[in-house]
């Protein structure tokens, strides 16, 4: 099977699994809702991040989306059936990653712009300007996509959705904050923190908005390469 039919088959899987559609919807709802709540009690120190604060919760949904999309292949012999149709494991994995990235990016960008509009309406006169806001909206969409791909790569290595979520969610909600408080600049290079630099009005660390997203992209690429290697080396 060539790449286009393989991609179409993976897209059918995503749009027909309710859990995946629910995770995509949760990205938008969680990000916009928690951002609106944060904006109602925001100070003027960083109005842009006040608008996009909810990404801390939206990225959990993005991780759940990427994890579930891959982990479903390792249940009930589904991957064996998939590889009988697409014997080239590398081609299938690229198709799977693309089928995850495209809807994640579409929903992520929609989330970014909806969150920006909601946040600006809540903050009123203290809202960030359109230039910074548009940068934040695009950064939000790209960051959410990269986190979904990062989770997809890790899920391929671990072959378990539960194991992947058990590693990533505590890392995002607990470990990243603890390391950030104790390690200074080192924490700026963690995948979640690096990608969120684009959501701040200003930055004092080593990374800027786009270099921060580039660091998160490197984390995602490393996870996907590890997943591809694991897929090739291990039996179904």
Question: What pLDDT is stored for residue 183 in this prediction?
Answer: 55
Q: Residue 92 in contact with residue 86, Cβ under 8 Å?
A: yes
Please state, in angstroms and as integers, the Cα–Cα distance from residue 220 to each residue in 31, 172, 209, following that order. Answer: 21, 15, 17
Determine the straight-line distance between the first and last CA of the chain, rounded to whole angstroms: 19
Question: What pLDDT is stored for residue 27 in this prediction?
Answer: 97
CB count in 10 Å sphere of residue 147: 30
Where residue 236 falls among pLDDT bands split at 50, 70, 90?
Answer: low
Where residue 230 falls among pLDDT bands split at 50, 70, 90?
Answer: very high
- Assess if residue 208 is contained within a domain: no
| pLDDT of 187 higher than 80 | no
pTM of the model: 0.93
| pLDDT of 182 higher than 70 | no
| pLDDT of 29 higher than 90 | yes
- What is the per-residue pLDDT across 61-100, written as a single tens digit (0 to 9) for each? 999 999 999 998 988 778 888 888 888 899 999 999 999 9
HSE, side-chain direction, 13 A CA sphere, residue 226: 17
Three-class secondary structure of residue 207 per DSSP: coil
- Assess if residue 156 is contained within a domain: yes
Report CA 107 to chain centroid distance, whole Å: 11
- Assess if residue 25 is contained within a domain: yes
| pLDDT of 39 higher than 70 | yes
- Assess if residue 62 is contained within a domain: yes
- Assess if residue 202 is contained within a domain: no
Three state DSSP letters for 97-133: HHHHHHHHHHHHHHHHHHHHHHHHHHHHHHCCCHHHH
- Assess if residue 58 is contained within a domain: yes
Tell me the C-alpha distance between 45 and 145, whole Å: 28
- Assess if residue 185 is contained within a domain: no
- What is the per-residue pLDDT across 117-158, written as a single tens digit (0 to 9) for each? 998 888 877 777 888 899 999 999 999 999 999 999 999 999
Q: Residue 23 in contact with residue 65, Cβ under 8 Å?
A: yes
What are the structure tokens assigned to 180, written together? 């950030």
Residue range of the domain that includes 76: 3-170
Tell me the C-alpha distance between 34 and 88, whole Å: 42
- Among 4, 23, 1, which Cα is nearest to 161's? 23
Instruction: Give the chain's domain count.
Output: 1
- Assess if residue 27 is contained within a domain: yes
């Amino acid at each position: 099977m060539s790449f286009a039919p393989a991609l179409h088959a993976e897209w059918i899987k995503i749009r027909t699994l309710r859990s995946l559609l629910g995770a995509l919807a949760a990205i938008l709802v969680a990000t916009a809702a928690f951002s609106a709540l944060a904006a109602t009690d925001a100070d003027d120190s960083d109005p842009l991040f006040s608008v996009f604060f909810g990404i801390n919760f939206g990225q959990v949904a993005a991780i759940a989306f990427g994890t579930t999309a891959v982990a479903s292949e390792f249940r009930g012999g589904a991957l064996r059936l998939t590889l009988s149709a697409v014997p080239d494991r590398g081609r299938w994995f690229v198709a799977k990653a693309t089928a995850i990235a495209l809807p994640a990016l579409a929903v992520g960008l929609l989330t970014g712009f909806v969150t920006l509009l909601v946040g600006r309406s809540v903050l009123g006169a203290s809202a960030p300007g359109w230039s910074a806001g548009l940068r934040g909206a695009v950064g939000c969409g790209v960051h959410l996509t990269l986190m979904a791909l990062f989770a997809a790569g890790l899920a391929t290595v671990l072959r378990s959705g539960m194991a992947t979520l058990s590693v990533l969610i505590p890392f995002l909600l607990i470990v990243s904050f603890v390391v950030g408080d104790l390690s200074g600049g080192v924490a700026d290079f963690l995948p979640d923190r690096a990608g969120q630099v684009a959501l701040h009005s200003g930055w004092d660390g080593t990374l800027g908005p786009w270099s921060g997203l580039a660091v998160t992209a490197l984390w995602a690429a490393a996870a996907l390469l590890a997943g591809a290697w694991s897929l090739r080396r291990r039996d179904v």
